[in-house]
Amino acid sequence: MALDILGVTNALVSHAAASGHFERVNGHEPKNPPSTGGLTAGVWADRVTPVRASGLDSVSVLLVLNVRIYTSAVQEPADAIDPQMLAAADALCGAYAGDFTLGGLLRSVDLLGAHGTPLDVRAGYLQHDGVLYRVMTIAVPCVVNDLWTEVA
């Protein structure tokens, strides 16, 4: 079985686009600075690692994707930045909980971290081409059953 990375990425991009919170949603980590107006989101793969729940002849994996939300850190009113970003992050986390197989592409989004990494939102700042951005990065852990076949 092959990993349907495009299907999984597109599902995460679709959830972000459907939320109504974003001016732009990219299926990759942006190389160019995001817009300095509203919110931008980027989705990309972070890591793939086997999970202990694998069978005797197949390997299931944990695929962790990042969904990063960007906005200018110097916009006004500054007090509105985090509430706007948290509302978007909350909408996405709710969407992943509500569609935790991403339409049947996975066993589950590992919401509580049964395989090591829970659904997680981290806030921070990022300097990009001289512009300071406020970011929130959502780690989306996806468990994919029986991805690789073991042969003796």
- The CATH number for 56's domain is 3.30.2000.10
**Whole-model pTM above 0.75?**
yes
Q: Tens digits of per-residue pLDDT, 92-133?
A: 999 999 999 999 999 999 999 999 999 999 999 999 888 899
Q: What percent of the chain is helix, strand and coil (3-state, nearest 5)? A: 25, 40, 35
Answer positive or negative: Cα dihedral of 45, 49, 52, 53.
Answer: positive
Mean pLDDT of 72-87: 94
Q: Looking at residue 36, what is its pLDDT?
A: 64
Q: Looking at residue 78, what is its pLDDT?
A: 92
Mean pLDDT of 42-62: 92
Give the domain range for residue 127: 5-149
Report the DSSP beta bridge partners of residue 50.
61
Residue matched to tokens 């995001």: 34
Overall domain count for the chain: 1
